[in-house]
């Protein structure tokens, strides 16, 4: 009886370990391409979080504030780190579509951005996905 | 021969009559009292020297019409954006202080919580060009590795 119980428990734990989570985004860790004078960075938030590289990181942020002259200012920026190398960029006049895309970022998002030698964002892409293929 | 001649005369008569009816002079007989000023300006009373147009009066009227037309069209053009307000001496002093502080932060080579907080505080004092320059200093410093990011989260 005891042997049967142990075998059943083992079977349950093995099957639990093989559960497939449908719809989970692919875990792309953050990767950086190019040099300081221009390049790109990409990765998913889950990938960065679960990466073995503890510096793996990606973020995009929007900032709106009123300066001392009473003028409203809107900036967006993205930053990525992989293997201790960080790349960052800023867009000084983002379109509303860009702002909307960045504010839609969630844990399953995949972000790609390009930067130039002056640290300008020349390309920002946000993909919100439910499947494991991009 | 008579059979051919009768329809020809009939057609000619009808054609001439229709042509006369369609002629403008026939459709709207000219009022012999109309002057060139009536035709040009819609019958406004003007000092008319009948048979001899007063050219200086006509020029003056044309100028006046053109001037009023141009005034109307200029009202449709959107007014240019007001020039940005001049910074007050106090604001200029704050800008200088902000620029110096940000230069110091960037030169420090480390970007932690304190640097990010101070940077954000000083950013609001800058004019658009200064702000863009400050953000470029930060991003190019990060990208080239002269600024080491230690902050937890976005450095911006």
Interval B113-155: pLDDT, tens: 999 999 999 999 999 999 999 999 999 999 999 999 999 889 9
Q: What is the ipTM of this complex?
A: 0.76
Determine contact: A119 vs chain B, CB below 8 A: yes
Percentage above 70 pLDDT, chain A:
78
Among A41-55, A62-76, B80-94, B135-149, where is mean pLDDT lowest?
Answer: B80-94
Number of neighbours of residue A102 by Cβ within 10 angstroms: 21
How many residues are present in chain A? Answer: 134
Q: What does the domain layout of chain B look like in residue ranges?
A: 89-149
Percentage above 90 pLDDT, chain B:
40
Distances (CA, A) of A12 to A21, A42, A47, B36: 17, 38, 29, 108
- pLDDT of B28 reads 45
- Distance from the A59 Cα atom to the nearest Cα atom in chain B, whole angstroms: 6
Out of B124, B135, B156, closest to residue A67 by CB: B124
**Residues in Cβ contact with B123 at an 8 Å cutoff, skipping those fewer than 6 apart:** A65, B98, B102, B131, B134, B135
Q: What share of chain A is helix, strand, coil (3-state, %, to 5)?
A: 20, 45, 35
- pLDDT of A22 reads 47
Out of A69, A88, A115, closest to residue B155 by CB: A88
- pLDDT of A26 reads 64
Q: What is the pLDDT of residues A4-45, one digit of tens each?
A: 444 444 343 333 333 444 455 568 999 999 999 999 999 999
CB–CB contact B135 A79 (8 Å): no
- Is residue B78 over pLDDT 90? no
- pLDDT of B75 reads 59
- pLDDT of A11 reads 41
Determine contact: A115 vs chain B, CB below 8 A: yes
Q: Domains, chain A, ranges and CATH? A: 39-128 (2.40.50)
Let me know: does A87 contact B142? Beta carbons within 8 Å: yes
pTM of the model: 0.62
- Let me know if A26 is exposed, middle or buried by CB neighbors in 10 A (0-12, 13-18, 19+): middle
Give the residue on A whose Cα is nearest the Cα of B140. Answer: A119
């Amino acid at each position: 009886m005891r042997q049967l119980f142990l075998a059943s428990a083992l079977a349950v734990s093995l099957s639990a370990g093989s559960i497939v989570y449908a719809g989970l985004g692919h875990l792309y860790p953050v990767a950086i391409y190019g040099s300081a004078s221009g390049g790109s960075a990409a990765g998913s938030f889950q990938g960065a979080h679960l990466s073995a590289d503890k510096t793996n990181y990606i973020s995009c942020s929007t900032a709106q504030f009123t300066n001392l002259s009473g003028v409203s200012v809107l900036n967006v920026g993205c930053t990525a780190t992989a293997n201790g190398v960080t790349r960052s960029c800023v867009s000084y006049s983002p379109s509303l579509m860009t702002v909307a895309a960045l504010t839609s970022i969630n844990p399953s998002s995949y972000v790609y951005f390009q930067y130039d030698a002056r640290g300008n964002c020349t390309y920002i892409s946000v993909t919100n996905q439910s499947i494991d293929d991009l | 021969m008579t059979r051919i001649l009768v329809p020809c005369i009939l057609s000619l008569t009808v054609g001439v009559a229709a042509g006369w009816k369609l002629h403008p002079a026939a459709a709207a007989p000219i009022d012999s009292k109309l002057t060139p000023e009536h035709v040009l300006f819609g019958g406004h009373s003007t000092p008319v020297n009948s048979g001899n147009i007063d050219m200086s009066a006509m020029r003056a009227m044309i100028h006046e019409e053109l001037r009023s037309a141009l005034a109307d069209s200029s009202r449709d053009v959107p007014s240019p954006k007001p020039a940005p307000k001049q910074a007050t001496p106090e604001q200029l002093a704050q800008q200088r202080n902000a620029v110096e502080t940000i230069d110091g932060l960037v030169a420090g080579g480390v970007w932690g919580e304190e640097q990010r907080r101070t940077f954000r505080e000083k950013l609001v004092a800058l004019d658009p060009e200064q702000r863009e320059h400050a953000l470029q200093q930060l991003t190019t410093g990060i990208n080239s590795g002269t600024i080491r990011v230690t902050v937890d989260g976005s450095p911006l």
